[in-house]
């Protein structure tokens, strides 16, 4: 089929280990547009005919541009690793913003289907933050008019996967493993080839629209059995000792220490291990189970001749991305605030500018121009302009209000073309996210971290308390 006559699939998170394999598979019958935020990755068509577009998905505007012309979209994005040199806020809230931007952009361009790869959700138990976040993302993607097909998986086995990398690193580095109680939890690993096959089965198929499907491989294992199989395949000699008093905090510490993985990544993953992660029977899983690859074969195909994980393009780009991120010296800060019934994000933004001068009086004065919405923060009686924000009439709505950071002593205006503050309603209007993106401070970086960064968190925490006391405004 001619490339011009094919349906277009946009893959967000295409540079991840699932995304790279998936794009190659989808390119056999679709026109594939692959999104990446990496500055280390080129743009345009590659040798496989895949079109790469650079997109910062924290920007709604860039996400809208990236989804132009899409018939279907695949969402593989996770934000468990930092996206700026300084990141304030939890990965849970970062993920919500990314998903909301994607859902809004899909609605704008009338995308026919979003396919989301999330995590298995255990029944009748309190979810870890990581799994609860996966479910929130699924709900956020489904909040628009675009039907979502959610594929829920546990451990995905393939080269480049974060969880598998941690597992293999531990086996290689530890001659003795101290096993906490959660090693008796059961799980159902799935080969990356089966995940890609599942996406290929459901894309563009209306019978799978608007529903969630658990997927997993043919093997049901405890984490102890998973470790034992890995030790055998890697040809290591590892002693395993049960230590029932190991706490989750201790587990996170030693897993991060001996695997070399960031604690921001290890923590949420370890918290999820206390659950049984098993796929519930469903029609898609039944189709997928025919000829499915087991754990040992999937792991064997992920190793090189030296029993090490095969290096991927992602492994080579991560260090360069971190260097670029540190050199940029930008800040991202996201806080989840309560949203009382009947109150909109637009009202929250107005209240913020009414409340802030009262909170910091007599040190700060806030002046808002009624006609333009431009907001200026002064030190003292308008003697020193600290920060200037320009209200975006074009990009703001009642449920999302946007201000661009345009000047002031505390902001590098030359670096702040994309610096912005926003308030947006989330999760069926149960909360509002207050977010600063791409802010470049003028203060020396070390001094900024000890002063302005801390002050911002204190202000947002107190503002959240103020919102919790609010009642539905008259006329709202």
474 within some domain = no
Quote the Cα angle for 196-202-203, to 5°.
Answer: 85
Axis-axis angle for helices 248-259, 263-272 (nearest 10): 130
Q: What is the pLDDT of residue 103?
A: 97
| Residue 256's pLDDT band (cuts 50, 70, 90) | confident
Residue 247 pLDDT grade (very low, low, confident, very high; cuts 50, 70, 90): confident
Q: Residue 80 — very low, low, confident or very high, per pLDDT cuts 50/70/90?
A: low
Judge whether residue 159 has pLDDT over 60.
yes
Task: Assess whether 230 and 351 both reside in one domain.
Answer: no
247 & 382 share domain = no
Q: Are residues 343 and 234 in the same domain?
A: no
Same domain, 349 and 270: no
Domain assignment present for 476: no
Residue finishing a domain among 293, 324, 355? 324
pLDDT band at residue 316 using 50, 70 and 90 as cut-offs? low
How many angstroms separate the Cα of 16 from the Cα of each of 19, 36, 137, 160, 169?
5, 9, 18, 8, 19
For residue 398, count other CB atoms closer than 10 A to its CB.
10
Identify whether residues 122 and 243 lie together within a single domain: yes
* CATH number of 106's domain: 3.40.50.720
- Asked whether the beta carbons of 111 and 11 are under 8 A apart, the reply is no
201, part of any domain: yes
Asked, for residue 356, whether it belongs to a domain, the answer is: yes
Confidence band of 162 (pLDDT split at 50, 70, 90) = confident
pLDDT band at 472 (very low <50, low <70, confident <90, very high): low
Range 113-128 average pLDDT: 89
339 and 412 in one domain? Answer: yes
What is the CATH number for 418?
3.30.530.20
Q: How confident is the model at residue 264 (pLDDT cuts 50, 70, 90)?
A: confident
User: Where in 146-269 does DSSP place strands (E)?
Assistant: 148-153, 156-157, 176-179, 186-187, 190-191, 211-214, 221-222, 239-242
- What single-letter DSSP state applies at residue 306? T
**Domain end (from 324, 355, 371):** 324
Query: Is-above-0.85 flag for pTM?
Result: yes
Q: What percentage of the chain exceeds 90 in pLDDT?
A: 59
458, 366: one domain = yes
Q: Which of 274, 67, 271 is nearest to 183 (CA)?
A: 274
Region 425-436: mean pLDDT is 95
Query: pLDDT value at position 218?
Result: 96
Does residue 2 register a pLDDT over 80?
no
For the cut 80, the answer to whether the pLDDT of residue 322 exceeds it is: no
Same domain, 410 and 314: no
Cβ–Cβ < 8 Å for 258, 273: no
Q: Please tell me the predicted confidence (pLDDT) of residue 128.
A: 83
Q: Which of 3, 42, 48, 8 is nearest to 24 (CA)?
A: 48
Residue 475 belongs to a domain: no
Task: Clarify whether residues 406 and 267 are in a common domain.
Answer: no
Is 155 within a domain? yes
Phi, psi of 201 (to 5 degrees): -70, -35
Domain range for 363: 329-468
Give the largest Cα separation in the chain, rounded: 74
Task: Please tell me the predicted confidence (pLDDT) of residue 40.
Answer: 57
Residue 1 has pLDDT above 70, yes or no: no
Give the 3-state secondary structure of residue 21.
Answer: helix
Both 253 and 386 in one domain: the answer is no
Q: Is the pLDDT of residue 189 over 90?
A: yes
Same domain, 178 and 277: yes
Exposed/middle/buried for residue 75 (C-beta within 10 Å: 0-12, 13-18, 19+):
buried
Q: Is the per-residue pLDDT at 317 higher than 70?
A: no
Number of structural domains found in the chain? 2
Residue 417's pLDDT band, with cuts at 50, 70 and 90, is low
What digits encode the pLDDT tens for the residues 92-109?
A: 999 999 999 999 999 999
What is the number of H-type helices and E-type strands within the chain? 15, 22
Question: In the predicted model, is pLDDT for residue 211 greater than 60?
Answer: yes
- Which carries the bigger pLDDT value, residue 382 or residue 295? 295
Same domain, 136 and 159: yes
Q: Which pairs count as long-range contacts for 351-359, CB under 8 Å and 24+ apart, including other chains?
A: 351/466, 351/467, 351/470, 352/423, 352/434, 352/463, 355/463, 355/466, 356/459, 356/463, 359/459, 359/462, 359/463
Q: Does residue 373 lie within any of the structural domains?
A: yes
pLDDT band, residue 319 (cuts 50/70/90): low
> Mean pLDDT: which of 127-141, 164-178, 187-201, 345-359 is highest?
187-201
Integer Cα distance of 11 and 22 in angstroms:
9
User: Is 290 part of a structural domain of the chain?
Assistant: yes
- Mean pLDDT of all residues belonging to the chain: 89
User: Can you tell me the mean pLDDT for 42-56?
Assistant: 82
The SS3 assignment for 233 reads helix
Instruction: Give the end of a domain, one of 324, 349, 378.
Output: 324
Q: What mean pLDDT is predicted for residues 391-395? A: 93
């Amino acid at each position: 089929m001619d490339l011009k006559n094919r349906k277009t699939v946009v893959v967000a998170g295409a540079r991840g280990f699932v995304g790279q394999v998936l794009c190659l598979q989808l390119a056999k019958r679709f026109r594939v547009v692959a999104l990446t935020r990496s500055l280390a990755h080129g743009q345009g068509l590659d040798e496989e005919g895949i079109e790469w577009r650079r997109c910062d998905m924290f920007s709604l505007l860039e996400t809208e541009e990236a989804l132009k012309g899409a018939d279907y979209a695949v969402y593989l994005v996770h934000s468990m690793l930092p996206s700026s040199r300084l990141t304030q806020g939890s990965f849970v809230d970062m993920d919500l913003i990314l998903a909301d931007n994607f859902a809004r952009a899909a609605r704008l361009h009338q995308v026919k289907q979003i396919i989301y790869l999330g995590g298995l959700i255990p029944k009748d138990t309190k979810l870890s933050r990581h799994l609860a976040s996966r479910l929130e993302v699924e709900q956020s993607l489904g909040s628009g008019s675009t039907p979502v097909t959610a594929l829920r998986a546990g451990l995905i086995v393939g080269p480049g996967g974060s969880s598998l990398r941690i597992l293999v690193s531990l086996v290689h580095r530890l001659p003795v493993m101290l096993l906490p109680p959660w090693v008796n939890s059961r799980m159902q690993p799935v080969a990356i080839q089966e995940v890609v096959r599942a996406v290929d089965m459901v894309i563009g198929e209306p019978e799978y629209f608007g529903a969630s499907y658990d997927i997993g491989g043919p093997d049901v294992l405890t984490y102890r059995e998973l470790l034992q199989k890995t030790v055998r395949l890697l040809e290591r000699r590892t002693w395993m000792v049960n230590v029932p008093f190991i706490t989750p905090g201790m587990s996170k510490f030693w897993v991060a220490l001996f695997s070399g993985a960031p604690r921001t990544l290890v923590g949420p993953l370890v918290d999820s291990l206390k659950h049984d992660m098993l796929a519930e029977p469903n029609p898609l899983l039944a189709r997928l189970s025919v000829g499915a690859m087991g754990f040992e074969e999937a792991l064997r195909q992920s190793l090189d001749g030296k029993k090490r994980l095969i290096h991927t393009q992602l492994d080579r780009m991560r260090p360069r991305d971190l260097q670029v991120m540190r050199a940029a010296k930008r800040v991202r800060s996201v806080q989840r605030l309560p949203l009382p019934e009947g109150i909109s994000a637009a009202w929250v933004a107005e209240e913020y500018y009414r409340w802030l001068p009262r909170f910091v009086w007599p040190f700060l004065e806030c002046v808002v121009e009624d006609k333009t919405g431009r907001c200026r923060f002064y030190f003292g009686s308008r003697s020193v302009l600290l920060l200037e924000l320009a209200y975006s009439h074009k990009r703001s709505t009642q449920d999302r209000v946007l201000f661009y950071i345009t000047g002031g002593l505390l902001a590098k205006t030359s670096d702040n073309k994309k610096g912005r503050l926003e308030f947006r309603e989330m999760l069926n209007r149960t909360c509002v996210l207050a977010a600063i993106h791409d802010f470049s401070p003028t203060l020396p970086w070390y001094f900024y971290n000890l002063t302005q960064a801390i002050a911002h968190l204190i202000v947002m925490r107190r503002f959240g308390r103020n919102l919790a006391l609010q009642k539905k405004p008259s006329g709202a």
